[in-house]
Amino acid sequence: MKKTIEFKASEKSIDKFNKWIKKHDLVCKLKKKKKPRFITYCFTPNGIGSSIVVKCSCGKGSADVTSIENW
Ligand SMILES: [Zn+2]
């Protein structure tokens, strides 16, 4: 059996992410130039859940989308 590590984001975190990316799209250089861009998801387990920080590869955008529903 393969060993896997799985991180889950709650619906609320995804909502927060969607709101952030919409705002960020307006200022993101990579998006404006239609260049490939990547979103990094940083999951930090804290024992009772995970805090989640998302970062755009343009280097100018990041957001904390932690929801206590992940805890
Ligand atoms: Zn960006």
Element (H, E) at 29: helix 29-32
Query: Domain total for the chain?
Result: 1
User: Ligand 1 centre and the CA of 8: distance in Å?
Assistant: 23
The answer to whether residue 35 sits within a structural domain is yes
The answer to whether residue 3 sits within a structural domain is no
Q: Three-state SS for 17?
A: helix
User: Ligand 1 centre and the CA of 29: distance in Å?
Assistant: 6
DSSP letter for 5, please: -
The answer to whether residue 34 sits within a structural domain is yes
User: Ligand 1 centre and the CA of 12: distance in Å?
Assistant: 21
- pLDDT the model gives residue 36: 96
User: Ligand 1 centre and the CA of 40: distance in Å?
Assistant: 11
Residues near 3 by Cβ (< 8 Å), separated by ≥ 6?
A: none
Segments forming the whole domain that contains residue 19: 11-70
The answer to whether residue 27 sits within a structural domain is yes
Decide if 9 contacts 65 (C-beta within 8 A): yes
- pLDDT the model gives residue 49: 84
Kindly report the pTM of this predicted structure.
0.84
User: Ligand 1 centre and the CA of 53: distance in Å?
Assistant: 14
Specify which residues 55 forms β-bridges with.
40, 62
The answer to whether residue 47 sits within a structural domain is yes
- pLDDT the model gives residue 42: 96
What percent of the chain has a predicted confidence (pLDDT) above 70? 96
The answer to whether residue 5 sits within a structural domain is no
The answer to whether residue 1 sits within a structural domain is no
The answer to whether residue 61 sits within a structural domain is yes
